Amino acid sequence: MANIIRRPNDSLGLSTFEEFDKVFDDIWQGPSGLSRVLRTPSLDIYSTDDDHMVVEMQTPGFNEKDIDISVRNGVLEVRAETSSSEQSDKKRHYVMRESHTSFARRVVLPEGADADSVSAELDDGILKITVPVSRPDAKKIEISAGSHDKAKK
């Protein structure tokens, strides 16, 4: 029968599962870890009619002052940054929760987008940007028979 050897635990009394949690937290929340990728908000781009394009993204925890929207050279750019920390003079803190979140998303606007009339609204953590678009009518191109078809007749 195999002997089960238990290694001494020198990790401040954390169980094995807690140690794994700590390792994964360090990976996901490290400065060059995957946290930046995971914090990029999801993006929906759609049109309810032929005259507008709508860009919606989830921005929970951000308010209007945290978000900057700009249009340059046909590219819509949304940048947001917020940081917070809970502080109180009456408490003795052993651990203080701090957070800093930022993201930037860019969307190439379609031809005919009116950058001067873009509007945005923030409601319950959903940022909705409406871009007026005036699409010119498509020009129909007639197809003529090639010289190969004339030779067969």
C-alpha–C-alpha distance, residues 62 and 111, integer Å: 30
DSSP SS3 for 35 = helix
Residue 13 has pLDDT above 50, yes or no: no
C-alpha–C-alpha distance, residues 56 and 48, integer Å: 13
DSSP SS3 for 76 = strand
Amino acid at 130: T
Nearest-CA neighbor of 72 among 104, 109, 36? 109
Nearest-CA neighbor of 71 among 133, 132, 116? 116
pLDDT of residue 40: 77
Q: List, in order of start, the domains of the chain with CATH numbers.
A: 41-136 (2.60.40.790)
DSSP state letter for 96: -
pLDDT of residue 101: 81
C-alpha–C-alpha distance, residues 33 and 23, integer Å: 12
pLDDT of residue 2: 55
Query: What are the structure tokens assigned to 16, written together?
Result: 């094995």
pLDDT of residue 83: 78
- Mean pLDDT across 124-148: 88
Specify whether the CB–CB gap between 115 and 45 falls below 8 A: no
The per-residue pLDDT for range 25-74, each reduced to its tens digit, is 666 555 554 444 446 788 899 998 888 999 999 988 888 999 999 999 99
Nearest-CA neighbor of 64 among 119, 7, 140, 139? 119
Mean residue pLDDT of the chain comes to 76
- Mean pLDDT across 75-88: 79
- Mean pLDDT across 79-84: 83
DSSP SS3 for 121 = strand
| Unique residue bearing structure tokens 């052993």 | 94
